[in-house]
Amino acid sequence: MILTVIGGVVFFLVRGKDGKKIAVVKGEVTRGELSLKVSARGKIEARDRFELKAKIPGVIMFILEEGTPVKKGEIVACLDDKELLARKHQEEAKLVNYKNNLIKLERGLDIKELEDRVQEAEVLFREAERQFEAKKNLFEGKVISLDELKRITADYDKTRLQLEIIRTQLKERLNAHREETESVVSSIKAIDKNLISIEQQICWSKITSPICGIVTQKEIKEGSWVNQGQLLSVVVSGKEFVARVNLDEVDISKISLGMSVSVIPDAFSGRVISAKVEKIAPSPRLIEKINTFEVTMQLEPTNIDIRSEMLCDVVIVSGLKKDVTKISQEALVNIEGKDYVFVIKDNIVSKREITSGFRNPNEVEVLSGVNEGEEVVLNPPLELKDKARIVIKEEEK
């Protein structure tokens, strides 16, 4: 049962036959449920929010308008990729040339030709060597003349020299072949790497949505130049929402995960969306010299047309006691750490100490001191003392 408050928070003096009477507003000691609530201002946000930024510089050729629904993987914005495609074609042409050169090098026709010439020279040299040894023996046996020996020796030296020249040519060609092959292979690897980079940039030129949602921001116009990292659009989920509030450290101890929450959007006054406490920040942030903790609440599905960035009131029910004796917070007077109320009986008040318990901003549980049905003064004026005579404002009317 809700405490009945009769009249406004005012008082005045009334002069009657019995002297001065203090006009007061009265309330009643009631019995019923008492809930502890934490209230705060907050903001409704889409559960998923993605800022789409340019990964490469370029000119915007296409970008979706705000409010456009998108599917996961759908293109939201596109950069001009003509230059990238031209570079790709150039690199691909260079790659074909280098691969053809590599094929020629792998065949090694010029090396095979040199190897054949070396083999031929080796055959000629062995024959010349044989004849030289034979003629030398004949000369020693005084069968041939010295001139004949000199002629044979000259032929032998010439054949040996030719073999050495061809062998040197083969060795130099093998070294050059190896260097050319390494250079071509290195160039092919570099082109492959460039192509991968260019293809990645071509892919980056098309900015896609990572989720099914709605474009909520369009930060650039078509035809504009954008730099790497520049914000282009914002895409948010269109069905799942959360509410976020910042609670000071006094209130944070009163809530826990899973508690029920009522979210009232400013745009839909009186409409309430149910929610649950989903996340409580582990550490505070200093806001206006007050330690606050961010609390995130998952909103349940609703037919209300809520949108991201809407402001709202949030009420978290952090506790509930049933069948308690309670009074209005306005009836309570704290003097030197003790709680008192002024109880009304026969238009005379008596100052009575009470023991309070569970409380919220509006009501206080009374453990002892007053009983259900008794009447108490609300917002007692400063001049109100024990045993003072009073008049109820409504009765005076």
- pLDDT of 264 above 90: yes
Q: What is the pLDDT confidence band of residue 4, given thresholds at 50, 70 and 90?
A: very low
Q: b/e map of 245-274 (b: 16 or more CB within 10 Å)?
A: bbbeeebbeebeeebebbbbbeeeeeeebe
pLDDT of 237 reads 87
What's the N-to-C CA distance of the chain in angstroms? 26
The count of residues in the chain is: 397
In three-state secondary structure terms, 2 is coil
**Interval 2-13 mean pLDDT:** 35
- List, for residues 160-184, the tens digit of each pLDDT value: 999 999 999 999 999 999 999 999 9
pLDDT of 119 reads 93
Q: Which residue has the higher pLDDT, 17 or 391?
A: 391
pLDDT of 249 reads 85
**Helices (H) and strands (E) in the chain — how many of each?**
5, 23
Structure tokens at 164: 């050495």
Q: Rg of the Cα trace of the chain?
A: 49
Q: List CB contacts of 104: < 8 A, sequence separation 6 or more.
A: none
- List, for residues 274-310, the tens digit of each pLDDT value: 999 999 999 988 888 888 999 999 999 988 988 888 9
Q: Which residue has the higher pLDDT, 266 or 288?
A: 266
- pLDDT of 6 above 50: no
Sign of CA dihedral 67, 72, 74, 75: positive
Tell whether pTM > 0.75.
no
> Strands 390-392 and 19-28: what pairing?
parallel
Average pLDDT, the chain: 88
**Interval 54-66 mean pLDDT:** 95
- pLDDT of 397 above 80: no
Do 369 and 333 form a contact (C-beta atoms < 8 A)? no
**Interval 136-159 mean pLDDT:** 89
Long-range contacts from 97-105, C-beta under 8 angstroms, 24+ separation: 98/184, 98/187, 98/188, 98/191, 99/188, 101/184, 102/181, 102/184, 102/185, 102/188, 105/177, 105/180, 105/181, 105/184
Following DSSP, what letter does each residue of 215-236 receive, concatenated?
EEEE---TT-EE-TT-EEEEEE
User: Which residue do the tokens 């203090």 mark?
Assistant: 22
- List, for residues 215-234, the tens digit of each pLDDT value: 988 999 999 999 999 999 99
CA distances from 27 to 4, 331, 364, 382, 393 (A): 6, 8, 13, 18, 12
Q: List CB contacts of 92: < 8 A, sequence separation 6 or more.
A: 195
Q: What is the pLDDT confidence band of residue 394, given thresholds at 50, 70 and 90?
A: low
Structure tokens at 133: 């040894």
Structure tokens at 106: 């792998």
The greatest distance separating any two alpha carbons of the chain, rounded to the nearest whole angstrom, comes to: 177
pLDDT of 3 reads 36
CA distance 122 to 112: 15
Q: What is the pLDDT confidence band of residue 1, given thresholds at 50, 70 and 90?
A: very low
- List, for residues 312-368, the tens digit of each pLDDT value: 999 988 777 888 999 999 999 988 889 999 999 999 999 999 998 888 778 899 999
CA distance 324 to 265: 32
Q: Which residue has the higher pLDDT, 290 or 208?
A: 208
- pLDDT of 253 above 90: no
> Strands 231-237 and 213-218: what pairing?
antiparallel
Structure tokens at 365: 């549980």
In three-state secondary structure terms, 395 is helix
pLDDT of 13 reads 38
Cα 18 versus chain centre, distance: 74
Following DSSP, what letter does each residue of 302-351 receive, concatenated?
-SS---TT-EEEEEEEEEEEEEEEEEEGGG-EEETTEEEEEEEETTEEEE
Share of the chain above pLDDT 70, in %: 94
